[in-house]
Structure formats: structure tokens, C-alpha cells
């Protein structure tokens, strides 16, 4: 037991040290996903939880909402400032900042194709918090820290060299049906 | 060589003499107030993510601000049961938002508002929104427990008197710190729906853990990490409004009872916010933040009502309309006072009417700054 | 000339190191004032400028304004957060902070006795800026930094060990007629 | 010894397998944008007094935010004439608001938004509200001048390429830094109404100073420290609205001309705010923030109107109503664009109509944070 914990946390910490870019380049991710039902997003091993349909559905007008609004479909579990309003894009951190090495994941329905996508919310790090950008606090499928990979009340810059929180991107990393 | 050929001392010398009255005027002297005003306090942690947060101390009776204690960024606060000592865990980056991060545990003298000491923690402490379950004192008051996330979860155990780190306990997949009654240690909520009971040795340096049976379903109806103790039990509430009554005193955490807050109520009401509930043990009443039309993702919405719920009778005593309260705390009194904070910078004080099911009446407000999500009070 | 500058700035820096309390206890201040027309406030030598009456007068209702409002007469040249709304009083810094060793001076008319008072605006230092308190920005007689003793756009905690700006007190240090 | 008798890895292992579609979905990859978007920029320094300030860069044409550069607290910004390099002087206290203060000069690459270097300054730099005259580049671009206040005034001379401190020049009773045209050095405004001309040696290590004749009356009608250059002269404005045209090119500063902005205008209008005026040299027009019913102490009031003033014809061309603009900058264009900031977090863009005396028309806005009191732009 003890060995397992040591191994796991040791491995996880080591994973966390790897760069997001290196992980993202791994071509084996999708097959890994299919095999284990887990997602490696920027270095952390995260559970892929089925979208909780207990509560209501997406608003009808979601398709018309642009990506600079908190109502945009990808932002269904985002808690932070939009990087695309701070010099970045939907998936790019603003120049000079760093992408977080670890991230949390949401499951959001794309109103155009009706499919549920896994969205990695990477924080961008090492720059002053970008309060110039819209602050969004949506929480579909969000869980407290006991399901860390689904938790958005922590600073996901935690594993970076510079932990200052700047803003958040929303990156499509998988399909969940 | 600097050669100044003119005199231009401005503020230093170029003074036009003023006629000074030779009357009884006695100059005042600037000084520093020695201690805060006496009387019971409300503590609010004003968190910042790009600079210094602060621990604000208000008078319970009129919300007069008694002073601020300084912290770093992304921190948590902790108040001793006697209200005389406070702690904060926070981050100090070399360049505030970049560069090496020094995570510090500060110890404060509440009466004098001084920094009594500081200790450097292992650089793993969770940089999280304010939650009281992330920085805790052991029930004997000797140890401080710090929630870590790297994102792997663990707990740093520090000496409450010195701040010195004694050990780091891995708590993989578990979160929150709930001090065990009558012994050293804490429980934590785990991602599989169990609780882990971590017993810490007398010297604080070793620990053992024991899992409970399943307590809740984290997929179907997860619980908030906010806890409240009453009558020897610990209470949690789920996203859908199920109240859990737990026994923390055994080797493992055991479920004693459950109750549905919203049974028979129309409108899709559910609990929501951050520090979303508080129990007045004198009267056995839970005050809880509720919002209507609940759906997946609405669990952090601010309250549109605060409900007073009788824990013994298991029924809602009153429902009071409020504006955007996202965290609250209630005084321990026969006629409780509720203090609630908004996300946009207000602290509200509500008196309650025992004859009307402890319905809330606005009775004062004050200005807050930053992200004020944790409140505490000592009578 | 050069010696004089060295002496003056050296002396001033040395003065600035002295505590506000020590300076305030000096009983010789008022006679020093009368003699030189300058004020030592918390360690800095400041000019006593006559109140500039070029522009308008105090509002008529000033006498009824309480000391927790920016309209209170003592605050006629204050730029900062009121310490009496942050755990201090009109003349006391909040517990745990330090009074600034240097300060700027305003000349304010007391609507009760009609007299002009010299008001030392000491910043309180070493604590988080108290934005819980009202922020006042009045500027009667205020001058840019070329009249430093009358300037309120700088942090007057500059000569303290901890320079963090907390709030500002308004201390009556003299009468100007 | 930690003895865990249960598995509760939560996020690590307790994963419910999801059905994954085997279609054409191609995962996106998180990355970092390499450079900011091309095109002319507006720079706004967002000052903070309890944490990290930032230098915000907006597109001139649509106010889209291109990114932020990080600074410490109570800082100043400086932009190179080519707009490719920026500097900031700011304070980094060990505990953000208390403890030893390290005053840092950062050098930034504007296109990449990177910190190219930092140098530690003598701990005397003025911790002041944002004013462009407090951090300046010499006219040859080789030296940086930093305004100090202990409160004794002096100027630190640093190497613009390395940030290294070369000397500290005492400037007792004088304030503001106005680079001399065509040579190394600066002028400063002194409290007796003169200007001091400080010439700095080629290696930046020594200096000499020369006083002017009286230029203004600091008691009767003081001048703001904001300067604007046009047609070889430097312009200042007084509290009462007298425009001073100064020659900085000689051994001492000389007054060339004065003009009263408000002659013949009813309503007690006067200039006010922080960075309160800006000249478009292409058309020789000054844009200046004005407020009515001016009185002693009103000189920092935000603008209720912005006036366009023809410097050659010496007349007001237009008066445009605005809301609470406290600082502004104008582009160098035949059809200038005015950018104005408020104290409450807005950046406004105004287009001007040459046919209507360059009257302002609102044409865009963006959100600002902190205390945004200095603006700059490069075409």
C-alpha cells in the first residue's frame, strides 16, 4: 500500500514537472483515453466522468453566443478570466505567460453538433491576474477538491515555476458520448 | 561634479513665514492605537490573487472595522477558539505574480494586530479560494493542518505554537480537513464517497489512516466541503440539499442520519455558494444559503434566500430573502445574528426574530474588498 | 553650496529616521514654528504656506459633517483612506501599523471657530491598503512634488521600515492665521 | 508510520470509463502565443498599491487587449520611442505590504511580452501615483532617469541597456524629469518657480546644474508637472489654465510665451486631472481636460469636457463633453484619436472631427483595473 502511494504521488509529481507542450504532442493520448477512461491533461491523470444530466440542459440560444462571452458553450465549467480577451486565444495563453502544466476538465455540450466534449481548462501563469478580461464562473460537472481533476477553485498554475494566475483557456481534448 | 549655482530647496527652505496665533492651541500628536476595541469580533478573510490579502476584523454589534492583518496572496485564515490568535497561510512570490514562491504561515496577535511570527511551509499548500476546511487547528489546539495540492493532495502538520513543520501526510484523492473530536488528527472527504480518518501521533510526527464505509455518492449528489458541528456530530450538505449528520468520534467516520432540506418545497431550491451554512448550537438551528431553479453547475450561485432549519424537528422554520450572499456565519446565541458576505464587496449583518422562525432582518452593512469567502466569529 | 546640500539632505535623511513620537514630544516645536515659519512634522521640515484664498470657500454645511465623511473640515487636503474607519482614530494609526515618519501638510479652516489650522496628514504604514475605509481625495493648497511638503500623490510611508500604505490620519499641528 | 487500509485515490484512479467516440475529432493543444498582434499600441499603466500592477497594451484601432506586463506595486512605466521596449520602476516588499523593499527596474520586450531583464535600484525611488515625468529616457535613449523622494528629491541615472545605476543626482526642492533636447540630461521644476537644468556627462556618471530665471509663481498659480513637446518647445499648464511655452535647449530653461486657455469663457473652467493634456504635433492642437467651477483643491478633478486648443492660432477650437476622464493621450495624426482613462476602470477611445474643430466622438471602450493614470502610445 505504502509503496503504491509513494509510487503514485511520486509519479504524479514527476508528471506535473513535464511541460504541457510535451504531453500535448503525445500521439498516444486518444488511444490511452479509450483504453483507461482517463485523460492526461497537461501532466495530471484525470477521471472522465460522464456528464451529469440530473439537472437542466444548455440554454437554447447557446449556439449564437460568441467566444468572448461567458455563455459560450466551451466555458461550461470555467472559473476564471478569459485569455482570449487578454491577448491570447481560445487555446493559446497570452504572450509572455506560461500554460499550466496541470488542469481541470469539464464536459460541455456543443450546441452545433450536439456532442459532449471534454474541455481542458488550463490556467495561464506568471503574469498579473487579467481582470481586464471577463470573469466567468460556470460550474457544470464541477466537484470539490476530492475530485481534483474536476475542481476549479484552486490555482492550476500550482505545478508551474511561476504560480501567478493570469487567465484561463478552454481546450478541446476529447469527445465523451 | 555637480555644480549647483542656485538655491531651490523648495519644501526645505523656501518658506513664507505665517503669522502664528499665540493662543491656547495645543498641537495634537500622531500615535498608534495600542489594541483594538474590546468586544466580540467577526473575522473576514479578504483574499487577493495579485497581491496582499487581509484579515479584516469587525465589531459584531455594529460592523465597525477594528483593523486589518496583512497576508500574502491566495491565502486562508484560521482563528483560535478564544479569538486572541489568528493564523494565515498564503503565498509570497518574489515578484508578486512570478518568480519563486515562498509559502508562509503567519501567526497574529488579534488584540494588538501584530505579526507574532512566521514560518516557511513546504511549497505545496493549496492556492485555493477561501474555504475554512483548508487550514485547521487540531481539537487540542496544538497542531495546525494545512491542505496541500500539487495537485496530489496531502496535509502539512505544523506546530501551532511555532509554525514548524512536523510532517506531511499524503491523502491521495481526499480533500478538506475536519479535526477529530477528543484526539489529534483529522478526517478528509474522499473522491470515492468515503471519509478517511487520519490519526496523528501525540508528537505530531507520524499518522495512520482508516477509511469509512461509503457516506455519499460523489457522482449523483456530491457534498460541499463546508462542515458545521452540533451536538457532538458533524454536518455536511449535498448539492441537492441532503443534510448529512456524521459521527467523527470513532475509528472511522459513520453516517448517523440524513434529511432533505427541500422536501415539499416548490421551485427547485438548492444550497449554493462558498461558506454556505452555519449552525447556532444554542438553538439547534442551521442557517443555509439557497437559490431557486437549481441545475448542474449552479452550486456556487449566491443565495436568494437564507433558510433557518430546525435540526431537531427537521423542518424549515423560515425563509428570508437576501441579495447575493455567498458566504455566511451565525453567532452562538439564543437570538442569533447572521453575518453574510457578497462577492462584490459587502458584509451584511442580519438580526433574527425567534418568534418568526428566526427570520432575518437587515441590521447593518460594511464594505469588504478582494474575494471575501471565509468568515468566522468568536463570542 | 555643495556642502550645504550634503548637510541638508543628510540632516533630512537623519531626521526622517527619528520616530514620529519622539518629534511630537518635543515641546520646543511651537516656538520653533513661530521663529522660522516652518513646521517639523514627524521629522520633515515643511513650509507653512498661507492658505490660498484665490478660489472659493468652505461649504456652508461643513460644521455638521462628521469625521467619517470626506467632507469633514480636517480632510481639506487629504488623499487616502480614512484611518478612523480602519481601526484607528482621527490622530491614531490602527493597531499594528506604524505612523509615517514624514508627512504632508494642509491648511484647513475649522468652520466652528473660523480659524485656519495646519493639518499633518500622516500615512499609516506596513499593513494592507485599507480600501474598506472611505477614500478621500481633497486637495486644498496641494502642490506637485516641487513643493514636497504640500504634495499628496506620494506614499508618505517612504521613510519607514515597512513602506506599505495602509491609511491616513489628520493631526492638528499648528494654527495659521 | 502511515497505515492506509483503504484505497481512496479519487481523481487519480476512481474513474468511471466513458464511451469515447471513434470519429474524426482531433484534440486541440494548449500553447502560448508567441507575439502580440501587430499594429499600433496604446499603453496604460495599471498601478496597484497592495500588489502587482501591470502594463496593459491595447490595439489603437479597436482597444482589443494584446496583453499585460507584470510589475510590482506603486510603480511607473516608460515606453521606448519605437514602442518595442518598455520599462517599469516599482516596489517589491518582502511581504508585499511590509518588510524590506526591493525597488526594481524591469526591462520588457513589448512584442513578446517577456521580462528581458531587471536591475535593483537604490531604494529611494518615489512611490507616487502614475506620472510620466517620474521615469524618463534621455533624448539619446542611452540613460534612464528615475525620480527619487526620501522625501529629499534626487534622480537616479541608470544605463538604459543594462539598468545599472550610474549615479544619483541631488535635486533638492525640484521635481519631475524633462529630458533635454539634443544632449544628455534633464530639467526639473523647482519649488521657487524656477527650473533647474541638469546636464549629465557622456558616461552618465557626473552632472552639473543651472537654475533658470523665475518661470512661474508656485503660490499664486502653480503648474502641473505634465509636459508636452511641440515644435521644439515644451508646454506646461497652470492650475488656472495658463499655458507656458518653454525653451529647454539652452543652458537654462527660458520662457518663450504664455497663453490663457479660458480667456472669455464663462463658468470658472480650469484644467484638472493627472495626465491632463496631450498635443498632436501634426496639427498643432492641444487636447486638455477641463472642469467647471474651479476652486482651490479642484485641480485633480476629472474632466467634464475636453478642449481642443490651437497652439498657433491660440484659440479653443472645440469643447467636447466627456465623463470623468482623468488622464489622456492623443495620437500623432491628421485626424487624431484621443484615448482617455477614468479612475473607475474604463479606457475610452474618441475619434475627432477636423471639420468640427477636432470635437470628440466616442468610438470604443475597454476595461481597466487598478489606478490607471499614465497612458502612452506609439504610432
In this predicted structure, which of C24-28, C104-108, D91-95 has the lowest mean pLDDT?
C24-28
Average pLDDT over residues B342-355: 96
CB contact under 8 A, C55 and D296: yes
pLDDT of C151 over the 60 cut: yes
Reported as a single tens digit per residue, the pLDDT across A107-165 is 999 999 999 999 999 999 999 999 999 999 999 999 999 999 999 999 999 999 999 99
From chain B, the residues in CB contact with A163 under 8 A are 91, 93, 101, 127
Task: Report which of D48, D70, D47, D44 is spatially closest to residue D57, judged by C-alpha positions.
Answer: D44
Reported as a single tens digit per residue, the pLDDT across B240-290 is 999 999 999 999 999 999 999 999 999 999 999 999 999 999 999 999 999
Reported as a single tens digit per residue, the pLDDT across A6-35 is 333 333 333 333 322 222 222 222 222 322
CB contact under 8 A, A49 and B219: yes
D89, containing H or E segment: strand D85-93
Average pLDDT value over all residues in chain D: 94
Torsion sign (Cα): C110, C112, C115, C119: negative
pLDDT score for A17: 31
- Rounded CA gap, D284 and D306, in Å? 16
Domain with CATH 2.40.128 in chain D: 266-379
Confidence of residue B344 (pLDDT cuts 50, 70, 90): confident
Interface size, chain B vs chain D, as Cβ–Cβ contacts under 8 Å: 156
* DSSP states along D224-245: PS--EEETTEEEEEBTT-EEEE
Average pLDDT over residues B291-306: 98
Find which of B131, B151, B186, B192 to mutate to test the A interface (most A CBs within 10 Å of its CB). Answer: B151
pLDDT score for C50: 34
Is A104 assigned a catalytic role?
yes
- What's phi and psi for B312, nearest 5 deg? -80, -50
- What 3-state class would DSSP assign to D178? strand
Q: What is the ipTM of this complex?
A: 0.89
C16 → closest Cβ in D126, D150, D225: D150
Asked whether at least 3 C-beta pairs link C and A within 8 Å, the reply is: no
Of C33 and D71, the structure prediction assigns the larger pLDDT to D71
Query: D218 in contact with C at a CB cutoff of 8 Å?
Result: yes
**Cβ-based neighbours of A52, under 8 Å, separated by 6 or more:** A140, A141, B219, B220, B296
CB contact under 8 A, D20 and A94: no
Is C116 assigned a catalytic role?
no
Reported as a single tens digit per residue, the pLDDT across D129-173 is 999 999 999 999 999 999 999 999 999 999 999 999 999 999 999
Could you tell me what percent of chain B has a pLDDT over 70?
A: 94
Spot the catalytic one: A73, A79, A104, A116: A104
| Topology at the third CATH level for domain D266-379 | Lipocalin (2.40.128)
pLDDT per residue, tens digit, chain D (379 aa), is 333 333 223 333 333 334 444 457 999 999 999 999 999 999 999 999 999 999 999 999 999 999 999 999 999 999 999 999 999 999 999 999 999 999 999 999 999 999 999 999 999 999 999 999 999 999 999 999 999 999 999 999 999 999 999 999 999 999 999 999 999 999 999 999 999 999 999 899 999 999 999 999 999 999 999 999 999 999 999 999 999 999 999 999 999 999 999 999 999 999 999 999 999 999 999 999 999 999 999 999 999 999 999 999 999 999 999 999 999 999 999 999 999 999 989 999 999 999 999 999 999 999 999 999 999 999 8
- What 3-state class would DSSP assign to D317? strand
Average pLDDT value over all residues in chain C: 74
pLDDT of A50 over the 50 cut: no
How far D211 CA lies from chain B's nearest CA (Å)? 6
Task: Report which of B344, B266, B289 is spatially closest to residue B46, judged by C-alpha positions.
Answer: B344
pLDDT of B124 over the 70 cut: yes
Helix locations, D118-160, DSSP H: none
**pTM of the predicted model as reported, rounded to 2 decimal places:** 0.87
pLDDT score for C65: 80
D14, containing H or E segment: none
Query: B373 in contact with A at a CB cutoff of 8 Å?
Result: no
- Rounded CA gap, C148 and D214, in Å? 19
- CA distances B117 to B43, B106, B108, B120, Å, are 20, 6, 7, 10
CB contact under 8 A, D65 and A85: yes
C37 → closest Cβ in B2, B3, B16: B16
- Which residues, numbered 41 to 70 in chain C, qualify as contacts with chain D under a Cβ-Cβ cut-off of 8 Å? 44, 49-50, 52-56
From chain D, the residues in CB contact with B192 under 8 A are 7-10, 14
- Rounded CA gap, C146 and D178, in Å? 13
Reported as a single tens digit per residue, the pLDDT across B307-342 is 999 999 999 999 999 999 999 999 999 999 999 999
**CATH assignment, D33-120:** 2.40.10
From chain B, the residues in CB contact with C46 under 8 A are 11, 15
What value, to the nearest 5°, has the Cα angle with vertex B372 and ends B368 and B374? 130
Average pLDDT over residues C87-97: 98
Reported as a single tens digit per residue, the pLDDT across C61-88 is 545 689 999 999 999 999 999 999 999 9
Reported as a single tens digit per residue, the pLDDT across D279-321 is 999 999 999 999 999 999 999 999 999 999 999 999 999 999 9
Nearest CA in chain B to D214: B8
E strands, B110-163, are 114-120, 135-137, 143-149, 153-159
For residues C37 and B18, the answer to whether their CB atoms sit within 8 Å is yes
- Rounded CA gap, C96 and C93, in Å? 8
- Rounded CA gap, B139 and B177, in Å? 12
Instruction: Name the residue with cell 468568515.
Output: B375
In this predicted structure, which of B39-48, B72-81, C30-39 has the lowest mean pLDDT?
C30-39
- Rounded CA gap, C177 and C50, in Å? 8
CB contact under 8 A, C138 and D74: no
**Cβ-based neighbours of B284, under 8 Å, separated by 6 or more:** B230, B231, B310, B311, B312
Domain with CATH 2.130.10.10 in chain B: 123-260
Spot the catalytic one: A79, A116, A123, A156: A123
From chain D, the residues in CB contact with A164 under 8 A are 52, 70
Torsion sign (Cα): B352, B354, B358, B361: negative
Task: Report which of B314, B304, B153, B169 is spatially closest to residue B225, judged by C-alpha positions.
Answer: B153
A86 → closest Cβ in D19, D22, D65: D65
- Rounded CA gap, B243 and A5, in Å? 32
A126 → closest Cβ in B98, B294, B299: B98
Average pLDDT over residues C14-26: 29
DSSP B164: -
For residues D228 and D237, the answer to whether their CB atoms sit within 8 Å is no
Spot the catalytic one: C73, C79, C116, C123: C123
How far D190 CA lies from chain C's nearest CA (Å)? 5
Domain with CATH 2.40.10 in chain B: 33-120
CATH for D123-260 (3.30.470.20, 2.60.120.10, 2.130.10.10, 2.60.120.260): 2.130.10.10
| CATH class of domain segment(s) A70-177 | mainly beta
Amino acid at each position: 500500500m505504502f509503496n503504491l502511494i509513494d509510487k503514485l504521488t511520486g509519479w504524479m509529481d514527476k508528471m506535473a514537472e513535464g511541460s504541457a507542450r510535451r504531453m500535448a504532442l503525445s500521439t498516444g493520448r486518444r488511444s490511452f483515453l479509450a483504453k483507461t477512461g482517463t485523460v492526461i491533461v497537461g501532466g495530471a491523470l484525470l477521471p472522465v466522468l460522464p456528464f451529469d444530466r440530473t439537472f437542466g440542459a444548455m440554454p437554447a440560444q447557446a449556439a449564437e453566443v460568441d467566444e468572448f462571452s461567458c455563455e459560450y458553450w466551451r466555458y461550461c465549467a470555467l472559473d476564471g478570466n478569459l485569455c482570449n480577451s487578454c491577448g491570447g486565444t481560445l487555446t493559446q495563453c497570452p504572450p509572455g505567460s506560461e500554460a499550466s502544466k496541470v488542469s481541470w476538465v469539464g464536459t460541455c455540450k456543443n450546441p452545433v453538433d450536439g456532442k459532449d466534449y471534454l474541455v481542458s481548462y488550463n490556467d495561464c501563469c506568471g503574469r498579473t491576474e487579467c481582470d481586464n478580461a471577463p470573469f466567468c464562473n460556470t460550474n457544470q460537472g464541477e466537484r470539490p477538491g476530492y475530485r481534483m481533476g474536476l475542481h476549479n477553485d484552486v490555482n492550476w498554475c500550482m505545478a508551474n515555476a511561476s504560480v501567478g494566475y493570469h487567465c484561463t483557456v478552454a481546450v478541446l481534448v476529447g469527445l465523451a458520448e | 561634479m555637480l555644480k549647483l549655482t542656485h538655491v531651490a530647496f523648495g519644501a526645505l527652505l523656501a518658506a513664507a513665514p505665517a503669522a502664528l496665533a499665540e493662543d491656547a492651541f495645543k498641537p495634537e500628536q500622531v500615535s498608534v492605537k495600542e489594541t483594538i476595541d474590546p468586544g466580540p469580533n467577526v473575522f473576514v478573510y479578504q483574499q487577493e490573487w495579485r497581491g496582499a490579502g487581509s484579515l479584516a476584523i469587525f465589531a459584531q454589534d455594529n460592523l465597525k472595522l477594528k483593523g486589518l492583518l496583512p497576508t500574502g496572496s491566495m491565502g486562508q485564515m484560521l482563528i483560535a477558539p478564544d479569538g486572541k490568535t489568528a493564523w494565515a497561510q498564503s503565498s509570497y512570490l518574489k515578484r508578486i505574480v512570478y518568480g519563486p514562491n515562498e509559502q508562509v504561515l503567519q501567526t497574529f496577535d488579534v488584540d494588538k494586530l501584530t505579526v507574532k511570527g512566521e514560518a516557511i511551509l513546504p511549497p505545496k499548500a493549496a492556492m485555493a479560494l477561501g474555504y475554512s476546511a483548508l487550514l485547521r487547528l487540531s481539537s487540542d489546539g496544538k497542531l495546525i493542518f494545512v491542505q496541500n495540492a500539487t495537485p496530489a493532495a496531502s496535509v502539512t502538520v505544523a506546530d501551532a505554537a511555532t509554525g514548524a513543520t512536523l510532517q506531511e501526510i499524503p491523502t491521495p484523492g481526499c480533500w478538506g480537513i475536519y479535526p477529530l473530536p477528543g484526539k489529534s488528527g483529522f478526517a478528509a472527504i474522499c473522491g470515492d464517497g468515503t471519509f478517511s480518518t487520519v490519526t496523528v501521533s501525540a508528537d505530531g510526527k507520524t499518522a495512520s489512516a482508516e477509511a469509512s464505509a461509503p457516506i455519499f455518492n460523489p457522482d449523483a449528489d456530491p457534498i460541499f466541503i463546508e462542515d458545521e458541528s452540533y451536538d457532538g456530530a458533524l454536518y455536511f450538505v449535498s448539492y441537492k440539499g441532503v443534510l448529512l449528520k456524521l459521527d467523527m468520534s470513532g475509528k472511522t467516520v459513520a453516517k448517523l442520519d440524513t434529511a432533505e432540506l427541500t422536501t415539499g418545497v416548490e421551485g427547485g431550491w438548492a444550497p449554493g455558494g462558498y461558506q454556505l451554512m452555519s449552525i447556532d448550537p444554542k438553538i439547534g438551528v442551521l442557517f443555509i444559503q439557497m437559490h431557486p431553479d437549481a441545475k448542474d453547475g449552479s452550486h456556487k450561485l449566491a443565495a436568494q434566500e437564507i433558510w433557518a432549519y430546525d435540526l431537531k424537528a427537521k423542518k424549515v422554520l423560515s425563509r428570508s430573502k437576501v441579495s447575493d450572499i455567498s458566504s455566511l456565519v451565525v453567532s452562538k446565541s439564543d437570538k442569533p445574528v447572521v453575518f453574510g458576505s457578497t462577492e462584490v464587496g459587502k458584509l451584511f449583518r442580519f438580526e433574527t426574530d425567534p418568534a418568526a422562525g428566526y427570520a432575518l432582518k437587515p441590521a447593518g452593512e460594511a464594505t469588504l474588498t478582494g474575494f471575501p469567502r471565509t468568515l468566522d466569529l468568536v463570542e
